[in-house]
A and B are shown apart, each in its own frame.
Chain A
């Protein structure tokens, strides 16, 4: 394998290792899971084409995030998303927050967290899981979830908050035990 191919493998491998972090970032700017997945996928194609521009030794996450940001802007233009002043200020603030605080989890750590989430999801009630699915998979709003399950908006809000908190505690506790 020549140097270029070797570098390509390293960069692309590292970039795919940040996929969830990049998805988080894109989602924070686009407010939509599916659109964020598309933006990250587009960004990965750019990474594969422009891997030679990455300076090894610098942060792969920051480099990929800058690519995702461009793809997010393209997506916003394509879908005519809100680009008002307020939205741009918010996007800049979100960008700065990620720049300051986002860390790239190690692969083993991410795998353990996913396993813990899967385990803890099984402990939820059917209804709890169904509400989460409506929120994350179908991306429904509080009112639509309420209509679906015969709940008030306030009840949905509380149920989501409680369920996610319960899951979070369960995951953290399981990870502590494992370590």
Chain B
């Protein structure tokens, strides 16, 4: 292999994120010391990206055929797809272009597209595909025309675009015109489009869906950072992080493809798959619910806030970050959230006499507010509740090492004011519901230094 070929391969593998530390060091040295190598690198990267983009534009929608329905829990090797170079202006190509380059619609009136494409794209951009049926908290919608909208409301009809939940207590429900309902909650980002086939991309966060039967050959496609999920009509939940995706199927049948290795699996009702690199894709029965739960902050928990590993002086913690609610820019909170159900552990069900114990640190004594989000057994969003409002939580005094401990009884929880307007369709109490996540915050107008070391849910009252 000559030098150029060897470099090309090294650079190509760099673009795929495949280099070892030794190779990275070698590439860094090469780029630092050799102008010709720098030029070669940039030119190769440019060529490789142009080629990659063109191939990705033309790629057949993943698992668009030969997929559903099939047997339970069977794993197949990837690679059965054939790459079709179909005519450029076919509908499938346009839909893929639509998703990948929705932002480019901004330019459609500026002669960036060929005439045939312009017609199709402008039609898709102007027609409503879904209606907002519920929302709460800070949300940002970016439409296909590039417009950013913070003031979204129930009943608003949307064309495709991206909805972003900006806070742990954000929640958003969208109903497509065929009646399929999708919900995101917490700090999540979902891009959606429907041009004859629903395509969604969950960049991060928690997502639930209740999908009515989809047209033959046009299942709903949901892409997460590590998987592609295909569904013809079912009820399921997805939690997507960069490293792994969890899919719980409540009804029907879902097909999941792991992007890392191309493996695919059918997930039947009441089963779950946690797709992570090198992990087993075999569906496992949904675990039985438990009533006791304790945070595991020794490892990164996700949620909102900054995770701090343990030090000699304090245990691992989730640290609150400053947060300014969109609807109330004069308020500055110190806020953190911790996800509960949906991970490797079993779902957690709240019992009437349950108690939360929260331990952490504050710079100064402050009132510590506490909220939870819950769902029904079928995964549907059930509501949000606050533990600090009915019996107004006293200011938490800090002890030595600036530590605090607060207790919240479930019987004192009240409906979160933000979802009161939608109360008719949501649960009135959290008893018997599944705990999805919790959040803790202070409202001092400045940083309180809030961090939480541990949250424990105890089925009975603490004496």
Q: Tell me whether B55 is interfacial, beta carbon within 8 Å.
A: yes
Residue on A nearest B46 in the bound complex, by CB: A24
Tell whether, in the assembled complex, residue A94 and residue B31 are in contact, meaning their CB atoms are under 8 Å apart: yes
Q: Tell me whether A83 is interfacial, beta carbon within 8 Å.
A: no
Tell whether, in the assembled complex, residue B103 and residue A16 are in contact, meaning their CB atoms are under 8 Å apart: yes
Tell whether, in the assembled complex, residue B21 and residue A84 are in contact, meaning their CB atoms are under 8 Å apart: yes
Tell whether, in the assembled complex, residue B18 and residue A31 are in contact, meaning their CB atoms are under 8 Å apart: yes
Tell whether, in the assembled complex, residue A90 and residue B46 are in contact, meaning their CB atoms are under 8 Å apart: no
Bound: A38/B12 CA distance, A: 20
Q: Tell me whether B5 is interfacial, beta carbon within 8 Å.
A: yes
Q: Give the residues from 36 to 70 in chain B that come closer than 8 angstroms, CB to CB, to chain A.
A: 38-39, 41-43, 45-56, 58-59
Tell whether, in the assembled complex, residue A144 and residue B83 are in contact, meaning their CB atoms are under 8 Å apart: no
**Which residues in A have their C-beta under 8 angstroms from that of B35?**
100
**Which residues in A have their C-beta under 8 angstroms from that of B49?**
20, 23-24, 27
Residue on B nearest A143 in the bound complex, by CB: B261
**Interface range on chain B (Cβ under 8 Å from partner):** 35 or more
Q: Tell me whether B24 is interfacial, beta carbon within 8 Å.
A: yes
Residue on B nearest A24 in the bound complex, by CB: B49
B104-112, B330-338, B383-391, B414-422 - interface stretch = B104-112
A41-49, A52-60, A66-74 - interface stretch = A41-49
A80-B142 contact in complex given A28-B14, A149-B79, C-beta closer than 8 Å: no
**Which residues in A have their C-beta under 8 angstroms from that of B38?**
96-97, 100-101
Tell whether, in the assembled complex, residue A41 and residue B103 are in contact, meaning their CB atoms are under 8 Å apart: yes
What 0/1 readout, one digit per residue, does chain A (148-173) give for beta carbons within 8 Å of chain B?
11000000010011001001100000
Residue on B nearest A95 in the bound complex, by CB: B31
Tell whether, in the assembled complex, residue A130 and residue B15 are in contact, meaning their CB atoms are under 8 Å apart: no
**Which residues in A have their C-beta under 8 angstroms from that of B15?**
27-28, 31
Tell me what chain A mostly uses at the interface: helix, strand, loop, or mixed. helix
**Which residues in A have their C-beta under 8 angstroms from that of B204?**
78
**Which residues in B have their C-beta under 8 angstroms from that of A134?**
79, 262
Bound: A23/B106 CA distance, A: 18
Tell whether, in the assembled complex, residue A133 and residue B55 are in contact, meaning their CB atoms are under 8 Å apart: yes
Q: Tell me whether A126 is interfacial, beta carbon within 8 Å.
A: yes
Q: Tell me whether B25 is interfacial, beta carbon within 8 Å.
A: yes
Bound: A50/B53 CA distance, A: 27
Tell whether, in the assembled complex, residue B24 and residue A87 are in contact, meaning their CB atoms are under 8 Å apart: yes
Question: How many residue-residue contacts, CB under 8 A, span A and B?
Answer: 176
Tell whether, in the assembled complex, residue B18 and residue A133 are in contact, meaning their CB atoms are under 8 Å apart: no
Bound: A13/B56 CA distance, A: 23
What 0/1 readout, one digit per residue, does chain B (118-151) give for beta carbons within 8 Å of chain A?
0000000000000000000000001000101000
Bound: A129/B51 CA distance, A: 12
Q: Tell me whether B300 is interfacial, beta carbon within 8 Å.
A: yes
Q: Give the residues from 75 to 122 in chain B that come closer than 8 angstroms, CB to CB, to chain A.
A: 77-79, 81-83, 85, 88, 100, 103-104, 106-107, 110, 112
Q: Tell me whether A121 is interfacial, beta carbon within 8 Å.
A: yes
Bound: A136/B16 CA distance, A: 9
A102-B146 contact in complex given A33-B52, A130-B83, C-beta closer than 8 Å: no
Tell whether, in the assembled complex, residue B28 and residue A90 are in contact, meaning their CB atoms are under 8 Å apart: yes
**Which residues in A have their C-beta under 8 angstroms from that of B235?**
none
- Selected from B5, B24, B55, B78, the residue in CB contact (under 8 A) with A90 is B24
**Which residues in A have their C-beta under 8 angstroms from that of B100?**
37
A45-B142 contact in complex given A20-B50, A113-B50, C-beta closer than 8 Å: yes
**Interface range on chain A (Cβ under 8 Å from partner):** 35 or more
Tell whether, in the assembled complex, residue A23 and residue B53 are in contact, meaning their CB atoms are under 8 Å apart: yes
Closest chain-B Cβ to A84's Cβ sits at a distance in Å of 7
Tell whether, in the assembled complex, residue A45 and residue B82 are in contact, meaning their CB atoms are under 8 Å apart: no
Q: Tell me whether B17 is interfacial, beta carbon within 8 Å.
A: yes
What 0/1 readout, one digit per residue, does chain A (1-19) give for beta carbons within 8 Å of chain B?
0000000000011001001
Q: Tell me whether A176 is interfacial, beta carbon within 8 Å.
A: no
A135-B16 contact in complex given A37-B100, A94-B41, A140-B262, C-beta closer than 8 Å: yes
Q: Tell me whether B450 is interfacial, beta carbon within 8 Å.
A: no
Residue on A nearest B32 in the bound complex, by CB: A93
**Which residues in B have their C-beta under 8 angstroms from that of A93?**
27-28, 31-32
**Which residues in B have their C-beta under 8 angstroms from that of A38?**
203
Tell whether, in the assembled complex, residue B83 and residue A102 are in contact, meaning their CB atoms are under 8 Å apart: no
**Which residues in B have their C-beta under 8 angstroms from that of A31?**
14-19
Q: Tell me whether B280 is interfacial, beta carbon within 8 Å.
A: no
Residue on A nearest B31 in the bound complex, by CB: A93
Tell whether, in the assembled complex, residue B45 and residue A148 are in contact, meaning their CB atoms are under 8 Å apart: no
Q: Tell me whether B322 is interfacial, beta carbon within 8 Å.
A: no
Tell whether, in the assembled complex, residue A98 and residue B56 are in contact, meaning their CB atoms are under 8 Å apart: no
Which among A24, A49, A110, A149 has the greatest number of chain B C-beta atoms within 10 A?
Answer: A24
**Which residues in B have their C-beta under 8 angstroms from that of A113?**
50
**Which residues in B have their C-beta under 8 angstroms from that of A102?**
42, 46
Tell whether, in the assembled complex, residue B56 and residue A33 are in contact, meaning their CB atoms are under 8 Å apart: yes
Apart from A31-B19, A148-B77: 16 A-B pairs, beta carbons within 8 A:
A16-B112, A25-B45, A34-B225, A37-B100, A80-B243, A84-B21, A86-B24, A93-B32, A100-B42, A102-B46, A113-B50, A130-B83, A135-B16, A138-B78, A140-B260, A168-B47
User: What are 6 inter-chain pairs, A to B, with CB distance below 8 A?
Assistant: A30-B17, A31-B15, A79-B243, A86-B28, A122-B85, A144-B261
Residues of chain B touching chain A, judged by Cβ–Cβ distance below 8 Å, are 5, 8-9, 12, 14-19, 21, 24-25, 27-28, 31-32, 35, 38-39, 41-43, 45-56, 58-59, 77-79, 81-83, 85, 88, 100, 103-104, 106-107, 110, 112, 142, 146, 148, 203-204, 225, 242-243, 259-262, 300
Residues of chain A touching chain B, judged by Cβ–Cβ distance below 8 Å, are 12-13, 16, 19-21, 23-25, 27-28, 30-35, 37-38, 41, 44-45, 48-49, 78-80, 84, 86-87, 89-90, 92-94, 96-98, 100-102, 107, 110, 113-114, 117-118, 121-122, 126, 129-130, 132-141, 144, 147-149, 157, 160-161, 164, 167-168
Per CB-CB distance, the 6 closest pairs between chain A and chain B, nearest first, are A31-B17, A148-B79, A93-B31, A79-B242, A97-B38, A133-B83
